[in-house]
Structures are given as C-alpha cells and as structure tokens.
A = this chain, B = another copy of it.
C-alpha cells in the first residue's frame, strides 16, 4: 500500500495524511497469470493500481484477430477508462500476463472520493489528461512513423516489455504482424 501512496504523491504532491485518505478505499486483489480483470461486454467497474505484474488489453477486429491495445505494467493503473467513466459495456479484455498484485478502487468508491476529497478530483483529472496524452502520442506515431521507427521507439522506451511479453502481442500493439516484427528485429540486429 505504501507503493500506491508513493505513486499518488508523485503525481500530485500531498501531505501524508491526505494521501493516505485518498488511497484508503483501494482494496488488495490478486490475479493469476492468464486470468481476466475485464471481459468485453462488461461495464468496467474497477480502477486497478498494479503493484506487481504485467497485463495487456486487447480487442478483436472484424476478422477475429486479437489486437493488443495497451500494456499495463507495475506502478501504473489498468482500466478501460471509457467503459469506466461512461458506464458503457467495454469492447476489450484485460488479461494478466503474469501473476499480479493490485489495488482495486470501485466506481462507487471513486465517486465517494470525488465528493469527499477535492484533491482526488484533481488527481483524476490529471490521470485522464495524461492518458489522453499517451494515446495522442501513440496516434501520432501511427500517422507519421514507419513500423520500423515505432518498433525502435518502443524498444527504447519500454525495453522491459520485450523481456516480459510474447512478441506477437507487441506486434499487434505496433499495428504489424508477428512475421513483420520478426523481420524488423532481424534487420535491426545487422545495424
């Protein structure tokens, strides 16, 4: 739990008392490797802080292929923000790729926090704007970079990912096939 408190304070500097109050409603939940935190069709009702472990979110395209939409690693939040805030059924699955320890905050508890703690409103706004920013950066990289540049960028920013998750998931996250990713890797070794 200290880890979560530290994380919150790093996003939004707060007194220890405030920070503790802010995270008080989070409850510990563990997930086994390959289990699901969320399934398509459900309304995402929980906002998870990942203490240990790694997860991915994915959806299916029209031909039935899995498309990895996000990875979530330690010290970050996992959720389908859209389903969570708009209270609508998710189109995604969130799956644990390893055993995970998390802290879970329900939608109702988040609303309570919003009402009782002005700081939490600020925290919430910061987090969603940050998520928007991340998504925008990724969108831009899809529009203006080649697959090779996107691969190089991800390798640079998240080298750990390549040690933790199967390449085929990374490939679909980058918007390419696993064959193409394999070839890009081969080509980049030569350089």
Residues of A within 8 A of B (CB): 59, 61-62, 65, 67, 69, 81-82, 85-86, 121, 125, 128-129, 131-133, 135-136, 138-140, 142-145, 172-173, 175
Contact = CB atoms under 8 A, between A and B. Distances in A.
Number of copies: 2
Contacts of A81: 129, 132
Contacts of A138: 139
Contact of A140 (B69, B85, B125): B69
A42 to B, nearest CB: 17
A69 B136 CA distance: 9
A8 B59 CA distance: 33
B82 A136 contact: yes
